[in-house]
Amino acid sequence: VGIRFGETIKSYIAEGRDLNTLVSIPLAIAGWLRYLLAVDDNGAAFEVSADPLKDDLQAKLAGIEVGKPETYNGQLKEILANASIFGTDLTQTLLADKIEAYFVAELAGPGAVRKTLHDALN
């Protein structure tokens, strides 16, 4: 997920384009990070697909609970700063705040992912 979007983000930066115009990419990254919590939009647990970074990333998200947005305390920052995942340190861009905002909105409880997608894309 990350490197594909990272290349687009890097090209935006290199060309001096406005990162604020990006909606789908930060939304997709937030959704992927929300997916790593292994709780679907109805609140049911599920098995996350195999990924070599899964255990490490899930450990970094420890303490975050779906239905309790207040349990988010900046846990994404270390992941978003990882240039080996995204091709660039996203915390050095405006996108980190946008990704965090989408992610926190997706934590609100059942239906929050759908609502976040709807609100962002309409």
**pLDDT tens digits, 9-61:** 999 999 999 999 999 999 999 999 999 999 999 999 999 999 999 999 999 99
Mean pLDDT of 85-99: 95
Which CA distances in Å does 84 have to 2, 31, 90, 102, 113? Answer: 9, 19, 11, 22, 27
72 class by beta-carbon count within 10 Å (0-12 exposed, 13-18 middle, 19+ buried): middle
Domain 2-121, architecture per CATH:
Orthogonal Bundle (1.10)
Residue-range domain boundaries for the chain: 2-121
- pTM comes to 0.95
